[in-house]
Amino acid sequence: MNYDVVVVGGGPAGLAFARSLAASGLRLAVVEREPRDALADPPCDGREIALTHRSVATLQRLGAWERLAPGDIAPLRAARVLNGGSHFALAFDAQGQGDEKLGHLVSNQAIRRTLFAAIQDQAGLDILSGTGVATVQTTRKRAEITLADGRLLTARLLVAADSRFSAVREQLGIEARIDRLGRSMLVCRVSHERDHGGVATEWFEHGHTIAMLPLVGHQSSAVLTLPSDAVRRLADLDADLLGVELTRRYGARLGAMRVTEGPHVYPLATSWAEHFAATRAALIGDAAVGMHPVTAHGFNLGLQGQATLARLIAEAAARGGNIAAPLLLRRYEAAHRMAARPLFTATNLLVALYTDERPAARVARHAVLRLGAQLPQVRHGVSRLLMQH
């Protein structure tokens, strides 16, 4: 089974990349261990994705955005950052940016469903579902991929999109710095008494972090971050008691909360691949960079990275060039590292500061928020970053 490009991983990054090459004339395969039914109608995983305007434009080009139902899309009009018991909030909005919204919130489930719908009848694309990858090997001539069911695939280029713990990356010999943070996120959908106004909140309370992401109507996605053992105990509560606990931890700012879906638990880890490309291979999505979710930019960065690689490949294919040329892959790596490094570094610094419970750190993080509020150019710069990446 010979292909031009084999993509390992049928998550959003892998599906978007395959769709980005729809007009390239290349023969593609996406390998995904989940069965086809789970790709076509993925289960709810509780994750809500904060999409920037750039990401929305990308999904529109891919033919996925228009497949979303109106109820799938919630406007994100502003964001507020709170620290401890202070009533002060650092605010970010779209004022002066030419749009009334910072972005949109759409569930990961809906994005995956619409991306799969966009590619399932794509000419020149095979979706090899229900099987994983056993081994991969690349040489200067080709990539060889042996599937778990024994089939052998060959390709001019191998693209890994198989998570921040990528087995393909490991087999390619690419080292990655993985930081298992010892904390977990508890994610669930809640209904509440008061209107959120389309405002997202990130509250760095002492001992925990709670985010509320505004959904359609009087609903939000509650994201609570705690040490992993504490999260597991909360996840074992029944829905009524969990709703009471979330209401308490959020200071009843939206009134009483009731859990309507979930909870889902995700151990937190960040990752950074030492290289984003190798001989006849490239990494996209979380296989390249696994972001901490606090700034909500992991998905947007992954979508941007796959678009960069797909554009370079499509241009090479159009002129009859080598789609896996070392120079092409180096150009992709350089561009994506330049886009990812500042976000990755800044996010990790933010997490380190706002999870440090020492008295000096508590004083410092409040001072940082106050300083940000006094510097309009900083707030506007962050707003542009939130809207564009």
Which pLDDT value is given to residue 383? 41
Least confident of 141-155, 243-257, 287-301: 287-301
Which pLDDT value is given to residue 95? 58
More confident residue, 140 or 367: 140
Please tell me the distance from the alpha carbon of residue 224 to that of residue 183, in angstroms, as a whole number. Answer: 10
- Compute the C-alpha angle 1/17/278, nearest 5°: 70
Percent of all residues in the chain with a pLDDT value above 70, rounded to a whole number: 87
Residue 7 near residue 28 (C-beta atoms within 8 A): yes
pLDDT (average), residues 116-128: 95
Tell me the domains of the chain and their CATH numbers: 2-70+107-178+270-351 (3.50.50.60), 76-103+181-268+358-388 (3.30.9.10)
pLDDT (average), residues 66-92: 82
Chain mean pLDDT for the chain = 89
Least confident of 16-20, 126-130, 309-313, 381-385: 381-385
Please tell me the distance from the alpha carbon of residue 165 to that of residue 146, in angstroms, as a whole number. Answer: 19
**pLDDT confidence band for 378 (50 / 70 / 90):** very low
pLDDT (average), residues 346-374: 64
**CA distances (Å), origin 223, targets 128, 239, 296:** 34, 15, 12
pLDDT (average), residues 105-118: 97
pLDDT (average), residues 117-140: 96
Tell me the whole-structure pTM to 2 decimals: 0.90
**pLDDT confidence band for 370 (50 / 70 / 90):** low
Q: How buried is 270 (Cβ within 10 angstroms: 0-12 exposed, 13-18 middle, 19+ buried)?
A: buried
State the distance between the two ends of the chain, measured CA to CA, in whole angstroms.
37
Which pLDDT value is given to residue 176? 97
pLDDT (average), residues 179-191: 94
Which pLDDT value is given to residue 366? 57
Please tell me the distance from the alpha carbon of residue 200 to that of residue 212, in angstroms, as a whole number. Answer: 6
